[in-house]
Structure 1
Amino acid sequence: MSRKATIQKSVPKAIPLLLSKLAAGDVSTGPNALLLRAYIALDALHRGKGTKGLFITFGQQLVIAERLCVAGYEKDQLRALREAHAALVRVDWDARPSNEWKAAGEDYEALRVALQVYEAQLRVVPRSEVRIAQMAMMAMIGRKAAPEPQAAST
């Protein structure tokens, strides 16, 4: 047996379901980078290997999905996106004392459903609309990061 054959046999063949779906994506368009980020973040959160950065990435994609819902894309799924937002708040709350970013049970399921909505949106939404939603999300983050103006003392 050659060395090359031995190396190939040692590689695990199981790929997490969410990532394998992306790997088998439409060859004509390739996997969408936004969707890929969200799937990677969800997979890590589900396996208990999440980080604050991945948590933030998923949250940003969720905000974009909510903006697209408000713009009329998968509008009937807004409740599912809001439930996913609530799940992210719980994941954040649970991660504070231990710094373990993990989504399990109902929280994972809510995030997974939201990701399916986001995927459906990205299949039909024009890139310009996605860009508008991204800019709105960035503006929202910028407003929250800006310091509050101090009242002038008299």
Structure 2
Amino acid sequence: MAEDCIPPAFNPLRLMARTAPYFQRSQAARARRAKTLLLPMPRTSADELSLQVHIALDAMRRGKGCTNATQTLCQAMILVGLLAELGYGTATYEQMQSAEAIISAAFDRGRDSDVWRFDDGDFEQFASIVTTYDTQLQRAPMSAIAEASNRLDRFRAGESFEEIAGRRRQ
């Protein structure tokens, strides 16, 4: 299957990395940044991220997925869990455990047979996760999204969730 079914760069903070076109006093810039971190993500940015995840979900439902689609859904699943842990949205341990088994099976099936898809029940499970993700992107403050994204990056770099959780408690 082609690896171009969705864009490979999946980073919620990438959309927010735009700089102001003029110089500002540092105190005013810090105040504006602090305020930005308290507000939800701009709607256009949230919609762009959400669209990537919905495209990946649809590709997997139709049996037209790829490695990138599966990775995107896996990252969205982890972010849902991390944001829920921070108090934004709900995700039960059982739901996340089941979703992890589904995504692992999709990776195994794709790697072994180059068929990247979800079964009907698997699709429904991830549709629920994607719906939660949409809501989190629209409601969680940027500070929570940044925290969850940073934790995901550390996990992808090889840190365990226990190490990441331990740092957060310190």
User: Which TM-score applies when normalising by structure 1?
Assistant: 0.68
C-alpha separation between the residues in 1 aligned to 2:47 and 2:148?
A: 16
Aligned to 1:25: none
1:71 counterpart = 2:68: no
C-alpha separation between the residues in 1 aligned to 2:133 and 2:93?
A: 11
3-state SS of paired residue (1:143): coil
Deviation for aligned residue 1:32 = 2.1
C-alpha separation between the residues in 2 aligned to 1:36 and 1:79?
A: 26
After TM superposition, list the pairs within 5 Å mapping 1:40-119 onto structure 2.
40-75=55-90, 77-119=92-134
User: Cα RMSD (Å) of the superposition?
Assistant: 1.9
Greater CA deviation, 64-73 or 92-101?
A: 92-101
Deviation for aligned residue 1:76 = 5.0
User: Which TM-score applies when normalising by structure 2?
Assistant: 0.62
Paired residue type of 2:55: I
For these two proteins, the number of residue pairs brought into alignment is 117
Deviations 1:22-60 (A, max 9, x none): xxxxxx933522211111110111111101011111111
- From the CA coordinates, give the structure whose radius of gyration is larger: 1
Segments of 5+ residues of structure 1 without an aligned counterpart are: 1-27, 145-154
Q: 1:78 to 1:123 in 2, by over 3 A?
A: farther
C-alpha separation between the residues in 2 aligned to 1:101 and 1:29?
A: 30
3-state SS of paired residue (2:71): helix
